[in-house]
Structure 1
């Protein structure tokens, strides 16, 4: 019993500050969780373009919210969204009015205003003070903007911005999570400047994103960097944000500038009356530079109109051996208040905070807080209301008997509540125990059905990416919940990572897997080869797995798998690409991002001269040189950094006209960057989606078009590039039209990263927030057994051909849900004639569709090689 109560009492301490990288849930515009009555607007053109139609990916009404009349540059028309509670917003997505192909209106730029109370409105600005956000470039695509800093608000207004008089329409979605802290504002002295020895620049420790009033060297009525979810580094001079000044992540004060008081006083105002469990303060402790965590803190509480006289005080244990920044948890004794005033006392010359958060429970209006009274294990106080004792002394016996009669009832209620808590605690612990047992249990394959587990029962947080426009004009048909035998594949499952474990359980795989492992020549030359008829050895490396490094690009989810012998050890001399002056890269736009990196569109000054003769860049005709810059984030792990350098070495080896080229690098200092070609015509998917097949009608109406010969030439180029990769034993793992880029001469180049990952997030199946898989392009053995080979790339090439000859107007298997696609891969494995193939596109010649079908052969050895595909496709192209 004591153990149960101890566990519950420790739970609140584990709750931390919101992580902006994980707080990215869609808040309900698209799926209707935000009701129509919470959507208002300054104006609307028609009833059918009212604010209720401003939902992402929705075609209801006339397809979007449109303000009335022509929008002028000076106008401030807005769409207002009431989220009904304080919310932490990290991402904002916009879309134009598509209206089933009839729309032509979209907002190229917009601003965001927000309010926490519906009365005081604030304008959002990024960390460099810019208010205007980039919007859409067409009517159907979704453009998502990361909100850095995030917004904490209940009400949000979207204000379209135009430079010329024009008509605009918008559909939107907001992403974030609830702001359970309930903090409305904090007040504090303004941050100060520091002159560090040996550092010529002035270090500004101000709160640069504070959205309140800055007056008389004091901040009041707003929120800022102390609530943005970004914690500072151990060295306060090192920053987590890009293109900001040293010390940016901290708000800091110097002791001798605060008079003789020796403390910094801060006041915190909350949305309602709360019981406070604790306060967590992320503080710097770089004592070698005179910075330490606070020595003590005293907090006063204001539950109503006046401050209570007795504070809660807490003394910290100072540490002069560990300079790491850390969270200091201050217990607040479950005191009730709507405002707090805390004095933080100096322990050295400087005190610096980067985050402050609170753990508290809302007190309902019917509750009367009892000081210091709580039931262990609960998140809310169980408070009792008592009737004041009567002044009438005429009937003492009646009053006495009433008190005596109520006592057993109260005791019984308390005992019942305690028993209920014990039962709840027992059930929670029992469920956790069962989940752990189930998580460790091996997967079983019964009745020759492959059951692949994709999530563990203990996973409770599912990270979501912004939704994107459907590739098909029709919603997926059929039920979303499939056969209960099927669970989603968990990519990090040990058995998924080690297919040999599953292979022992799949006797039917013995022949086909044997042929797969030995056919195609996917192993390195020094790896012992075998024939398709050799007896299978469970100890032999499967697809030469012991000699393959699966290198995941740090800026995306797709990757090359490459021979480990090429990347055993890596030093700067191993990188053949030249070092480009970093200051000559001018950042223009962020194209995509991943866990540890970002891809930017940049203008490279003097790049043709830098590369000299033989430069792979085309003649620019005097135009500036645009390049794609893949950049490692400052907070990347050492493993991600190592992988990034390996990726540079790998890409520097690639030299083929149909493979994206690495031009140069910036690795002499952080952040590490690689500079690659930028394709002006974007990716093949978008290029084809915007075109129709060539005909007299397209010529007469000047409609962008492509011919059948053009499509065949594209297929030949992709097969040529993949033939080159296969000759190097490289496995792409994510071949699709979205990863085939076109330059202005319409030369196709296969890329190793998605240039617009958010745009195609619906093509990827997210696994409990940990990984994404392009399952609609993956071979059955890749989905079920985790095998990625050149043969699985051939399967993806067949799907890519299908995309090309449907002009990318439809997503593969568009009538199947993700779960049904996974189930269909099981049908390929069982090979009982129930598997579903992609249909023959009307534009596709029969001989070419037969080639696609061979790419989707169940047995790996029956699939053609890329050399064979290239030789089969080349004669179809008009020379």
Structure 2
């Protein structure tokens, strides 16, 4: 890449020079009636890099495929997570500059019969700066836009009011659990005014013969405080000109006065209406056009004077002198509305403030627009310099030399990074390829493979030992890819004979009442079920704490009847292995249904679901006590929960088990153990193994070559680069899990990094040159506890603490660190 850039240096410099001068003759006024052309989703004018999404179902349904009437990939963008009941999944388009958007188009996907998903409705959000997001509402305050009824028709929706924005997000909605996919297009034109916000007094209500006429700016998208609107745009720049009778509107089913923003002199308490305009960049202003009502029989008249002040930037003073314009009007007895052109004299500014003087009791304005340009630049001696300022030539030459040196430095850095990326990339992809291979019966295919006869399982290396280690979580079964892109079943690589553990009780499958599907994979599904009157099942060896008459929640793993022979063997091996795990903080296997197909295993399920969802809906309880209705969690309760997880992992490590997918999503939350939930009480925690099969957490796993899915944000560097899984790598994952808990699961680990950057960071741990990035200390985390996390993330596996030490620390020391 870098070597290809070298011949392009002259061309790059030419582009810099040309683009510097290209704007001098651009006219920044636009015609809204013609502002309805497609902006480039369908024809590719908008590049892939400017189309992003909250998540994607798979590589073939990622954001770049969300283009109207195109069929690349699997035919559309499809989110990984559900859109019901939450509505947090979105497709985002970055237009790179402000645009006036007049309509949008949506479409589902058909993909030649491979998919039949579409969104029946959606919401829109937009932003002018990439930081502040605004929810679009129609003229009547409704946010939901009706979408598609089938997979192929394009549905166009006029935006009333229009949107002025750089970025737009589409949030598909559903009224039930269903798959949705989306293709979109935006229609409009570049917002040539460059106006990004105006500040003005809030409009007033006119009492006309006992009937209220609302003259407020009903579509203003900024803030309103103390009678002033600021930080947004609204009806004064929506391209709609009000008619002669302000009581009438061009929109249907709206209130009288809708097309105008109006102010009463007595209510306002001053003789002028002051409006301040903020623009993206400094511009040279030539003309301002103001469309005003003149219904003089109802005491509404056009303003008679305008005084405008100009400011170069937000921190600059107002330039002197101000520009004062008298407004000589003819036909003062004509009640027609009119557009008044005001010459601004070519004054440069980024902020413009104009005071419009009342001519009567009321001033009503419908639209304000500007003719302006960027500051003009001319070419002199082949270099761009400001007009009439030859002294800038040396500065500009110096800038160009600096640009050349900067480009050369960038090329050097790229070459250096490419060398390391190639080296680490080879290590990573070879490791992950081996990691994702299904292990066949017969001779070991690579060092560390299981002995003959144990097919379908993967091994991890035990810390402190050289033998093979069983692993508990399903995340290690990389070769089993399911419908959702996730595997469902873990098969610990530990042989179990009938003498090792007694046979599990056979449960009557008719006692399992289906409640919800938790996830699915290639060979089976995980369901949430209830068992009514569990005390009646005498063969269940389970210390029930369920009151009589209340059902017991269980998770049921179901193997599909058409599963292969190897899958059936793996399933039965998993049953034998899980039956050995008896610990208060490990989910217990309760029974099986293996007398007939489909094969089922039944495990505990905790009443409050998984820890990630439990914590993400809570806030940390501070010393002042609860101040709102949001559920809370206390610091001692968090530490108690973390201690329980450490206890469960201590048990697993004592059996030489490696979990491989420890995270809050794989911990389940049970009933209260201490004080009530409203006072931040703790709850019982048990470690589970089926979090990965849930679509809800598909975004937590990295997909490699369409096959392997790895929780890289929780994985130690040696797991990512070398496929080396040990108890010490579980300790690393515990540190990340503890970080999640003290962050109350409000964000994903390394949320500011892409998956590729997380892998690069693993390479920095490998190189150990001090450039590796650690998760930052959560705001509520004491320094001593953060130091425990950092020790969990030690580069040297031998320096990481044991789970016995972690459990002791959390039990004895962490409670006193509040």
Task: Name the TM-score class by shorter chain.
Answer: 0.3 to 0.5
User: TM-score, normalized by length of structure 1?
Assistant: 0.44
Q: Which has the larger radius of gyration?
A: 2
